[in-house]
Amino acid sequence: MKIAALQMCSSMQVNENVDAIAMAAQAAASQGVSYLQTPEMSVMFAEKRTQLDEWATDENIEHTLKALADIARNNALYLHIGSMAVPSGDGRLYNRAFLFSPNGELITTYDKIHLFDADVEGDAPYRESDNYRPGEEAIVTPVGDLNLGLSICYDVRFAHLYAALREAEANVMAVPAAFTVPTGEAHWHCLLRARAIETGSFVVAAAQGGTHENGRHTYGHSLIIDPWGRILAEKAGNEPGLIIAPLDLDLIKEARMRLPTLANRREFSLSVNRHMS
């Protein structure tokens, strides 16, 4: 099975972003791809909360989800929208991923669990939790012969999420993202390869990249990684574009046979020994 990740520099114009996804889906389908992932906030990369609130009416969301479902169906591929902001019902938004089947059915959604409240050097403080409500449910879902574990961006720093997904039989971890440039340079490849190695799973990470209409800079470097931690495909730099790789399912079996970390895992007690000297 061939899979693809689309690197984007999403703007504030939903139509523009959806068109870019449609074009990429066509290009991917013509190369035999059956799963395409787009980055976090690929449908609208907003500048202000008010913009999202104004846009996120039931009608606009319904219309957009229908357009995305049509893209999946017209190109007969699984379309995984890394995320899009939707009202959560309590005044905050959810940072929600959508997975469509090749028939255009909505298979599942996933709400980002770990929100980015962090202080990155050179940037204003990020306080995603001011506007977003965290999800409380991890999701694994079959995608053809694969079992996809869903996550979003900052989730990648929480290894126990992927351990849980792995225990629930996930063998491909999805990490659509919009990483900052400084944290991307320091951590992106390392974190994603670690998640692949720890879980003996493929990792697919479609990234936002470049300078966005809203003024933000994102790191790019979309990646597809195999269960041994080898990089199968990378979108070098931050330009938009598609990366494609064939997934050999035997590599999952092989990595897990050589390093059966799930079977070798131990329970332990923890003591903290405080010396009084």
The SS3 assignment for 229 reads coil
157-186 mask for ligand KGT (x: CB under 6 A)? x--------------------xxx--x---
Q: Which stretch binds ligand KGT (CB under 6 A): 39-47, 96-104, 226-234, 238-246?
A: 39-47
Judged by beta carbon, residue 146 or residue 178, the one nearer ligand KGT is 178
Question: How far is the CA of 181 from the CAs of 39, 178, 184, in angstroms?
Answer: 15, 9, 5
Residue 85 in contact with residue 95, Cβ under 8 Å?
yes
Judged by beta carbon, residue 130 or residue 169, the one nearer ligand KGT is 130
**How far from the centroid of its chain's Cα atoms is residue 274's Cα?**
41
Roughly what angle, to the nearest 10 degrees, separates helices 14-30 and 58-74?
Answer: 10
Residue whose beta carbon is closest to ligand KGT: 183
Q: Which stretch binds ligand KGT (CB under 6 A): 40-48, 66-74, 225-233, 267-275?
A: 40-48
Give min distance, CB of 175 to ligand KGT, in A: 10
d(CA 72, CA 220): 24
Q: Which of 53, 70, 123, 128 binds ligand KGT (CB under 6 A)?
A: 128
Judged by beta carbon, residue 37 or residue 180, the one nearer ligand KGT is 180
Chain residues 137-156 in contact with ligand KGT, contact rule CB under 6 A = 153-154
Judged by beta carbon, residue 89 or residue 125, the one nearer ligand KGT is 125
Give min distance, CB of 29 to ligand KGT, in A: 27
Judged by beta carbon, residue 96 or residue 256, the one nearer ligand KGT is 96
Rg (CA), the chain: 19
Catalytic residue positions? 40, 112, 153
d(CA 163, CA 25): 31
Residue 237 in contact with residue 212, Cβ under 8 Å?
no
First to last CA, the chain: 61
d(CA 9, CA 269): 47
Interaction between residue 40 and ligand KGT (CB under 6 A): yes
Interaction between residue 53 and ligand KGT (CB under 6 A): no
Cα atoms found within 13 Å of the Cα of residue 250, Cβ hemisphere only: 0
Interaction between residue 226 and ligand KGT (CB under 6 A): no
142 conformational bin, left if phi > 0, alpha if psi -120 to 50, beta if neither = beta
Binding site residues, ligand KGT, CB under 6 A: 40-41, 45-46, 116, 126, 128, 153-154, 157, 178-180, 183
